[in-house]
Structure 1
Amino acid sequence: MPGENLTRAEAQERASILEVDAYDIELDLTRGDEVFGSTTTVRFRATEGASTFIDHISAAVHQVTLNGVDLDVADVDDSVRIRLDGLQAENELRVVSDARYVNTGEGLHRFVDPVDGEVYLYSQFEVPDSRRVFAVFEQPDLKATFRFTVTAPARWQVVSNQPTPEPVVDGDTGTWSFEPTPRISSYITALVAGPYDVVRSELASADGRTIPLGIFCRASLAEHMDADYIFEKTRQGFAFFEAQFGVPYPFDKYDQLFVPEFNAGAMENAGCVTFTEAYVFRAQVTDAIRERRVVTVLHELAHMWFGDLVTMRWWNDLWLNESFAEWASTLATAEATEWTEAWTTFQAMEKTWAYKQDQLPSTHPIVAEIRDLEDVQVNFDGITYAKGGSVLKQLVAWVGLEAFMQGVGAYFRTHAWGNTELSDLLSELEAASGRDLGEWSRLWLETAGVNTLRPAIETTADGIITSFAIEQTAPETHPTLRPHRLAIGFYDVQDKALRRIHRVELDVDGARTEVPSLVGHMRPALILVNDEDLAYAKIRLDEASTRTALGQLRDIEDPLARALVWGAAWDATRDAETPASDYVDLVLENIGAETESTTIRLALTQLALVARTYVHPSKRTATIERAGDRLWQLASEAEAGSDAQFQFAGAFAGLASTDEHVAILRGLLDGDQRLEGLEIDADLRWQLLDGLVLAGAAGEEEIAALLATDDTATGRQFAARARATVPTPEAKEAAFASVVDAEGASNMIVRYTGQGLAHVNDPASLQGLVARYHDAIQSIWDSRTYQVAEGLLVGVYPGGLASRELADATRAWLAANEPAPALRRIIIEHLAGVERALAAQERDA
C-alpha cells in the first residue's frame, strides 16, 4: 500500500491553509465492468500562494483544471495525489478521471448476482476511500457540501445522502441530479446503485417534519427482507434518540440498504446507511443474531447525531464515535425494543471482545495515538468499540444518565455540522454533571490494560462476615489502578433458584477498598463483584463462590448475573488460572439450561476453541468426541423449534468427529433422521455438510452437488469454506493458494476460505502452511489493499496448530523483518494467541 498513506501532520498542515466549500461530483456508471467516469469540481478557499494536494486513487486522470488553467496531468498526478501549486484566495478545481470498481469493499464495490446476472454497486468510504471514487480532500475536518449527479441504467435505483430525485431519462439511461448535502465529511458520503428492491415508509420527526424511509436489498433476496420489522425498530430508535438527545434528526431522509460482500456490519453514511446483507435472513438464524441486527440498526442511527452531525476532527477520536454509538444503541435496544436483556448481551459479547483485545501486546489507550491512516485501520478494534462503550457505561453510572444526556444534547447543539475533539464533549458533561472529568479521562482514556477485581473475605466459623474488601490488580505491562463504580451482589438459594438477596453500590479505588457495610452479614452462597456489570474490569470469584458457580450456574435466576459468572470462568481459563478441561465441563453441564441466545452462542464458540487449542493435546481427541456427543444430546433434549435446539445442532456439526456423528449428520441431510422442530434449510444444510467434510466423510463431489442447488452468493461463500475445511494437507494448501497465490478473490471468498482453513479437529493438516504463510506475509501486505491484506493475514494464519513450532516460526519472522506498524500488529497478535493457547495447554496437562 505504498503512497496511499496520509499522516496527521499532513492533514493538519492542509487544514491550516484550506477551507472547502462545495463539491460537484458527476459519476457515469455506464462505461463497462471495470471503470466508471468521475468528474469532480470543488470550490475552496486557501492561503494565497500556498501549495497542497487533493487525494484521488484513479485508473486514469484525463484533465486537471485549477482556476481555469489546465495543469500537466503527468506532472501533478501520481494516481494517488494531485499536486496543487500557487493557490488563490478563492479556487475552483476540476478533475476529470476514470475510477475503478472494486471487489474488496473499499471504494465503489461492484457485485454480479449469480442468481440473475444483475449488477449491484455500493460505496464504502470509511476511512480513506471516497478518494477511490472522486477527487477529494480526504480528511474528516475538511467538511463541505456534496452534490452528486449520477448517470446509470434508467431502470436502476440510485440512492445517495439526499432524497433521490426523478431521473432525466434518455433511452435506457437515466441521470439523477441530487440536491447538495449539508456540510459533512467525505467519508460519510454515499452512492448505492443497481436494480435493488425497495420498500418505502415514513415517520414524523420531533420537529414535525416527515422523514421518508426506505429499505433496499437485492431483488433475489427481496422475499426474505422483513422490512416492516426494520421500520418498527427504526421508529422506536428515532423516538428514543430524539427524546434523549433533545435534538431532532438532522437529515432529510433515512434509507437503509442491505448490500452484498460488505466488510463490516454496517456504515453510518448520512441518511444512507449500508448494512451487510447477512442481516437479510434467508434461513433460520439464532436469536443472538436477530438481536445483534437490532443493535446494529440503532448503532448506525445513533451515528446520525454522533459522528455525522458532529464529527471528530481527526481519527484519534474515532473511539468516541464508535463507543458512543455502541453504548447508545445498547441502551436504546434495552429500553425501547423487546430485547430488554441487551445489557446481558453487551456483557457477553462486547466486554468479552474488549477484555481479549485489552490483553494483547497491541493494546493501546482508548484515546490512541493516530499518526496516519494505517494507524486508523488497525484501531477499528475491541478497544475502539467495546472497551470504549464499556467505559462510557461506567461514566454514565458515575455522573448519572440524566446529566450525561443533558451534556450530550448541549454538545450536539453547540457543535452542529462542525468538528470536535474529546475535550469538547467532556466540557459539556462537566457542565451538566458538576464533576471534574480530567482525572477520569487520564486514568481511563489515556492508559491501556484491564484491571482484575477480587473479593477478600473473612468470616466466623458460622459464616458471619468479619472483613470484606475488593482487591484490585493490574498487569505488569500496564500497571495503572483505576477508580471503578460498581455493585456487589449477594446471591442465595430461594425456591431452588439462586437469587440476589442483598446489593451494595460503591466506588472502588486503589489496591484495596474496604467495604464495611457488608461486615456483619451472613455469607451467601455466591458473592458477585461487579453485579449488574457497571464496571469495566475482569472479576474473580472467591473459592466458595466458585464452587457454587460451578455446581449451580444453571440455577442463577438473573441472566446478567449468569453472564458475569460465565465471563469470570472464561477469563480464568484464558489466563491459565484454571484448567481448560474444567471450562469444557462447565459448558457441557450448564449450557442446556441457559436462556440467553448470545450467552449460548458465545459459550459454544469458546467451547470449540478450548476443545481444539486450550486442552492439552493428549486430551484433544477425547474432548472433541465428548463435546460432540453431549451437544447432540442437548440438541435432542431441547425444546422443539427452539433457539437452543438450533444452536446445539449447529455446534454439534461444527465439532463432528466420530462415525456416530457422521451417521447422524448424514441422516439429517438425507431426511432419514429428524429432530422435531429443526428445519434443515439452505444454510443449515451447508453447516451439516461442513461437519461431514470436517470428519473426512464428504468432499468435492458433495460440495459441488450442494452448490448446484444453491448457486447464490451465499452458497458460493459456503462452498469456499467447505473446500477449505477438507482435512488433508493437500486441500489446506490448495485453499491457501486459491486466495494467496491468485489475486482477484472477493473479500467474502477470502473471509470464508479463512474460516474453512481454521476449521480443524486434527491440526496436523495445517503443518504445511507454517512456512508458506511466513514466506507470503510481506508480499500479501505489499500487493493488496488494506482490507484484503488484513483479511488474508488473519484468515490463513495456521493458528489451529497452537504449537511451539508455530510460535517459533512467527517469532523468527518478527525478528528477521521490520514490518510496518499495522502489519507488525497483526503478526504479534497471532503470536500472542498461540502463546496463550500454549500456556492453557500446560495448565491443563
Structure 2
Amino acid sequence: MNLTREEARTRAELLTVRSYEVTLDLTRGERVFRSTTVVAFDAQQGASTFIDAVTDTVHRVELNGVELDPADVADGVRIQLPSLAAGNVLVVEADMLYMNTGEGLHRFTDPVDGEVYLYTQFEVPDSRRVFAVFEQPDLKSTFRFAVTAPSHWDVISNSATHEPVQAGSVADGGAASTWYFEPTPLISSYVTALIAGPYQAVRSELTSSDGRTIPLAVFARKSLMQYLDAENIFALTRQGFAFYEEQFGTPYPFGKYDQLFVPEFNAGAMENAGAVTFVETYVFRSRVPDATVERRAITILHELAHMWFGDLVTMRWWNDLWLNESFAEFMSTLAAAEATEFTQSWTTFAMLEKGWAYRQDQLPSTHPIVAQINDLEDVQVNFDGITYAKGASVLKQLVAWVGQEEFMQGVRRYFAKHSWKNTELVDLLSELEAASGRDLKAWSALWLETAGVNTLRPEFQTDDDGVITSFTILQTAIEAFPTIRPHRLAVGFYDQDDDGALIRVHRLELDVDGERTDVPELVGQKQPALVLLNDDDLAYAKIRLDPASLRTSVQHVKDFRDSLPRTLVLASAWDATRDGETPARNYVELVLQNIGAESDSSVILVLLRQLASTLTFYVAPEDREAMGDAAADTLLELALAAGPGSDAQLQFTRAFSSHARTSSQLDAVEAILTGERVPEGITVDQDLRWELLTSLVVGGRYGAEEIEAELARDSTATGGLAAASATAALPTAPAKDAAWAALVDATDLPNATQRSMISGFTRVHDRSLLEPFVERYFASIQDVWATRTHEIAQQIVVGLYPSLLTTQDTLDRTDAFLSGLGDASPSLRRLVLESRDGIVRARTAQAVDR
C-alpha cells in the first residue's frame, strides 16, 4: 500500500499521462462496485512500471490490445505493466470495495429514510480505491467520468454533466441511469471526486472576473435540508471569489463550484476541484457557538483558496504539502478579515492556529516545515500543526517582512507562470524574491528547514521617573532545536485610559535577530502599564511578559479594548502553564476571573478548552477533584450571569455540563434537561439534550435505558453517534469492556461511530476504570496499525492511548513498547511518542502546581 518518493520520481520520468476515462457502475449491491478505467499515456519504449489499483477482484487487464492475466500482474494493490510502447492504452476492469472509513468511496445509509449516500475522499493515496491510476500528484491528466447509479440519485463530479441517460435497473429492481461528465482540465488524481445519492441542492451563480457565469450549488442529505443555510454559504463564496480573483490576478479556473456536506467525513473539508466536500456537522441542526460559524466560514474560504493554490498549481511531491495547506490557511484568514463580516479572524488565528502550531512544534516529533517525505506513510502523519498552522504563521511573518502588496504581486506572477503545472517551493520563492527584492534563501533555510519555536522576552531598565533608559529583546531556543531566527514584529505599549480600558499608546515595528536585539527607539519612552512583544501577532514565537506587565495582565486582562492583544497575553499565560513555568492553578484562576467579560466567541471557546485541559492534566492530582468541582460551580454562575440568549451563556452552560460531577451539579444538569430549571435564554435543543444527558451518564445518574429513550426521540445519524458516545461513557467495567471490544477487537465500526465511541470511552470521572486497558492497548496497537486503514488505525492509536493516567507506570509501559517496536513502524512510533510527551508535560506541570 505504500509508495516511496523514489518510486514516484522514477515513474514520473517514464510517463506522461494523457487521459483517463473512468466508468463506474454503482448498481451492483452493497459491497462492491464495478470500475473500468481506460488510461492513455506515453512512456519510454520498452520500459516497465505499475499502476495503482486497490481492488477486490481484477477481471481484465488489457495493455495495447494484449490481454494480460490478472493473476500474473495484479496483487490487489498494484498492476504491473511490462514492455511499454511509446504510446499506450491500458484498460483495467475490476470490482472495488465500498468503504466505511471515510477513505476511497465511502458508503453511508441514512437511518431516517434508508437512503444510501456516497462520496469520495482521495487525499493522500485513495483514488486508487475507485479506479486504476498513477497515484502521485505530478502525473496530472484529464479525467472523464461516466457513472451508472439509481435514477432517483444525483451524481456530482468535478465537471458538468448532461442529463442522465436511462440504463437498465439496479440490483433491487429499481431504475438506473448513467451520468456522462465533461472531461476535467489537467488536474491531479487526488482532487478528483464523485458524490452520489439522493442529495438535494440549492443553486445559484456568480460572474467571474473574466465574465463567465459560474454555477454554484450547495448539497446535503434530504433529511438535513431543512437546516441548510445556503444563502450564508453563497454569500461567503461570492466574497471569497471576488477577493481571490483580485488578489491572485487569475480568474477562477474551473467551470462550476459545488459545495457538498457529506456524512461521516474525517476532516473538515477537501478541496476537490469544483466539487468541495465538507464535514456534515457544518450543517447546524441546533444552535452552535458563533465561533463554530466562524470556523465554517474560514473552512469555506480555505477550500476556495485551494482551487488556485493546490488544484490549478499543484505540488510536485508531498514534501510541499505544507505550502498547499499553509497558503490556504493564511489566505482564508486574510480573506475573512478583509472581505467578510469576520473582521476579528486574526484573533481566532492567534488562539486556534498558532496555539496548535506551538503545541505541535514542542513535540518530540516536530519537524521542519519543509518535511522529509520519503513515502505515503510519512505524508499521512504530516497533516499536523506544522503543515497547517506553523506554515501559515510563518507565511504571515513573511508577508509582514516583504510587504503584502509585494507578496501578492509574486503570487500573481506564480499563477501566471505555472497554471495547470506542478511546482516546488523554489518556484514560489523565486517569484516572491523578484517582486519584493528580498533574498529569501537565508529566510527559507532558517524558517522552513529547521524545527522548534523561539521564545522572546523584553529586558529594559528605567530611571527614577519611570523613563526607559535601555530596551532589549531577548531570544532563546531549546537545546534540542537551537536555531535563533529573524523576526518581523511589533512592540506595543499599553496604558489604561480614563475609563480603565487598556489601550495601545505606542507601537514600534522592527526586525529582531540574534539572541539580543537592542531597541534604542524605545529609550526615552515612559514605562507603560504593559509591554507586549509581538503586538498584532506578526511573528511566530512564544512571548513572555516582564514582571510589571504580568501583574497588569492578571489584574486587567479583561480591560483590553481590543481582542487581539488580550488574546496574545492569554496565550502567553497558557504557554507558561503548559511549559511548567507557572502553576496550573494560576491559569485556572486567570480564566475563571476574566472569561465572563470576554466578548469574542472564539476566544471563549479556546479558553474553555484550555481550562478543561488544565484541570484534566496540569493541576496537581491531589487537588484535581476539588479544583474541578469549584470550576464547575463557577461556570454555572457564569452561565446564570451571562446575558440571556447570548453566545457566552450557551458556551458556559455546555462547559458546566461537561465538568459537572458532584450531586448538586448533576441535579442542576438534570433540571436543565428535564425543563425543571432552565436558565432564561437557553433553548434545550436536541444537540444540547445529548450533551446534558451524556454528562448525567458519565456521572452515573443516567444509564442505558435513558440513552435508548433519547435515541428513540432522535433516530438520526447524529443521534446514533451521540448514543454511541454516551453508551461508551457508561461508568462501569462491563460497559468499558464492551466498548473496547467494539473498538479494537471488532473491525466493522464506521469511522464516525468509532470516533464517537472513543470520545465516550475516555470520558470518565473515575480514572481507575481505564487502568485495565493499558496493557491491552500496548498489546493491540501494532496489529491495529498493520491491519486497519490509516484513518481508522490513527483514531485508535491516538484516541485510546492512556493519556489520563499520568503516572510513571504509564511512561514505563510506553517506553517498553517503544523499545520493542524499534524502527519497525516509524509512523506508529511517532504517534506513540507524541502521546508519551503529553504524559511528560503533564507530570512536569503537576510538579510545579504542588
> TM > 0.5 between the two?
yes
Taking the aligned partners of 2:707 and 2:612, their CA distance within structure 1 comes to: 23
Measured after TM superposition, the shift of residue 723 of structure 1 is: 1.6
Contact 1:757 1:798 in 2 (8 A): no
Rounded Cα–Cα distance in structure 1 between residues aligned with 2:220 and 2:513: 51
SS at match of 1:448: coil
How far has the Cα of 1:729 moved from its partner? Answer: 3.5
- The farther-off stretch of 198-207 and 519-528 is 519-528
2:782 corresponds to 1:778:
yes
Partner of 1:821: 826
Cα offset for 1:698?
1.2
CA distance in 2, matches of 1:842, 1:659: 30
Find the counterpart in structure 2 of residue 751 from structure 1: 755
Give 1:152's match in structure 2, choosing from 131, 137, 149. Answer: 149
For 1:215, the equivalent position in structure 2 comes to 218
Aligned-residue sequence identity (percent) comes to: 62
- Greater displacement, 430-439 / 806-815: 806-815
Deviations 1:176-219 (A, max 9, x none): 11110001000000000000011110000000000000100000
Q: Which whole-Å CA distance do the structure 1 matches of 2:358 and 2:797 have between them?
A: 23
Which one of 275, 289, 313 corresponds to residue 292 of structure 2?
289
AA in 1 matched with 2:809:
E
Unpaired stretches in structure 1, ≥5 consecutive residues: none
Q: Which residue is equivalent to 1:549?
A: 553
Q: CA deviation at 1:815?
A: 1.1
Q: What does residue 609 of structure 1 align with?
A: 613
Tell me which residue corresponds to 1:839: 844
Structure 1 residues 553-702: aligned runs within 5 Å:
553-702=557-706
2:434 matches 1:434: no
C-alpha displacement of 1:662: 0.8
**Larger CA deviation: 288-297 vs 762-771:** 762-771
Counting only pairs closer than 5 Å after superposition, residues 530-545 of structure 1 correspond to structure 2 as: 530-545=534-549
Check if 1:8 corresponds to 2:13: no
* 2:463 paired residue number: 460
> How far apart, CA to CA, are the structure 1 residues paired with 2:728 and 2:847?
30
**Which of 240, 244, 250 is the equivalent residue of 2:253?**
250
| Separation of aligned partners in 2, 1:725 and 1:543 | 44
Q: Deviation digits for residues 252-273 of structure 1, max 9, x if unmatched?
A: 0000000000000000000000
Aligned length in residues: 842
- CA shift, 1:705, in A, is 1.1
Contact 1:390 1:535 survives alignment (8 Å): yes
Q: How far 1:733 sits from its partner (Å)?
A: 2.9
1:42 paired to 2:39: yes
- Show the counterpart of 1:86: 83
Structure 1 match to 2:315: 312
2:368 partner letter: P
1:178 aligns with 2:181: yes
Any stretches of 5+ residues in structure 2 without a counterpart? 169-174
* Aligned residue in 1 for 2:20: 23
Deviation digits for residues 522-557 of structure 1, max 9, x if unmatched?
111111000000000000011111111111111111
Q: Give the Cα separation in 2 of the matches to 1:810 and 1:522.
A: 53
The amino acid across from 2:489 in the alignment is: L
Q: Which residue of 2 aligns with 1:114?
A: 111
Taking the aligned partners of 2:2 and 2:642, their CA distance within structure 1 comes to 53
Asked if 1:715 is matched to 2:719, the reply is yes
Number of the residue aligned with 2:419: 416
Deviation per CA, 1:413-447, whole angstroms, max 9, x where unpaired?
10010000000000000111011000000000000
**Mapped contact 1:729–1:767 kept (Cα < 8 A):** no
Structure 1's consecutive aligned runs of 4 or more residues displaced over 3 angstroms after TM superposition are none
Shift, 1:753, TM fit: 1.3
Following TM superposition, by how much is the alpha carbon of 1:605 offset from its aligned partner in structure 2, in angstroms? 0.8
Cα distance in 2 between the residues matched to 1:164 and 1:461: 78
Matched, 1:230 2:233: yes
Are 2:256 and 1:259 equivalent residues in the alignment?
no
TM-score by length of 1: 0.99
**Counterpart residue type for residue 8 of structure 2:** A
Q: Residue 800 of structure 1: SS of its match in structure 2?
A: coil
CA distance in 2, matches of 1:723, 1:564: 39
Aligned position for 1:485: 488
SS, match of residue 478 in structure 1: coil
Query: How far apart are the structure 2 equivalents of 1:491 and 1:271?
Result: 47
1:475-498 deviations in Å (ceiling 9; x for gaps): 111000000000000011102111
Paired position in structure 2 for 1:51? 48
**Any conservation in 2 of the 1:758–1:799 contact (CA below 8 Å)?**
no
Q: Is the 8 A contact 2:821 2:829 kept in 1?
A: no
Equivalent residues of 1:612, 1:761 under 8 A apart: no
Q: What secondary structure, in the 3-state scheme, does the structure 2 residue paired with 1:461 have?
A: coil
User: Per-residue deviation at 1:710?
Assistant: 0.8
The within-5 A match list for 1:195-210 is 195-210=198-213
| Equivalent position of 2:171 in the other structure | none
CA distance in 2, matches of 1:537, 1:207: 41
Structure 1: how far apart are the matches of 2:198 and 2:383? 32
Within the candidate set 58, 63, 81, 1:66 is matched to: 63
CA contact (8 A) 1:729 1:768 kept: no
Q: Distance in 2 between matches of 1:721 and 1:352?
A: 27
Q: Matched residues in 1 for 2:715 and 2:813: separation?
A: 39
Q: How far apart are 1:730 and its partner, in Å?
A: 3.3
Tell me, in whole angstroms, the C-alpha distance in 2 between the residues paired with 1:48 and 1:456.
68
Q: What SS does the corresponding residue of 2:804 show, helix, strand or coil?
A: helix
Alignment of 1:294-443 (within 5 A): 294-443=297-446
SS at 1:472 equivalent: strand
Question: What is the rounded CA distance, in whole Å, between the counterparts of 2:332 and 2:220 in structure 1?
Answer: 23
Is contact 1:455-1:471 (8 Å) kept?
A: yes
Tell whether the 8 Å contact from 1:483 to 1:507 is kept in structure 2 after alignment.
Answer: yes
Structure 2 distance, partners of 1:725, 1:459, is: 57
Quote the residue 2:193 is aligned against.
190
Instruction: Report what 1:704 is aligned to.
Output: 708
Q: Secondary structure at the match of 1:780?
A: helix
Where 1:533 maps in the other structure, the secondary structure is: coil
- Cα distance in 2 for partners of 1:758, 1:446 equals 37
The 3-state SS of whatever aligns with 2:21 is strand
Write the distance in 2 (CA, Å) between the matches of 1:405 and 1:727: 55
CA RMSD of the aligned region, Å?
0.8
| Cα distance, 1:461 vs structure 2 | 3.0
What is aligned with 2:528? 524
Partner of 1:471: 474
Question: What is the CA distance between 1:462 and its match in structure 2?
Answer: 3.0
Q: In 1, are the aligned partners of 2:148 and 2:167 still within 8 Å (CA)? A: no
Residue identity matched to 1:113: D
* Superposed displacement of residue 501, structure 1: 0.5
Matches of residues 785-796 of structure 1 in structure 2 within 5 Å? 785-796=789-800
Residue type of the alignment partner of 1:640: P
* C-alpha displacement of 1:711: 1.4
Could you tell me how far apart the structure 1 residues matched to 2:411 and 2:282 are? 30
C-alpha distance in 1 between matches for 2:731 and 2:493: 49
* Letter of the structure 2 residue corresponding to residue 429 of structure 1: L
SS in 1 for 2:536: helix
Q: Secondary structure at the match of 1:530?
A: strand
Cα distance, 1:457–1:728 mapped onto 2, change above 3 Å: farther
| Cα distance in 2 between the residues matched to 1:416 and 1:656 | 55
Q: 39-48 or 491-500, which moves further after superposition?
A: 491-500
Deviation, 1:456, is 0.7
Residue identity matched to 2:715: D
State how far apart, in whole Å, the 2-side matches of 1:701 and 1:282 are.
25
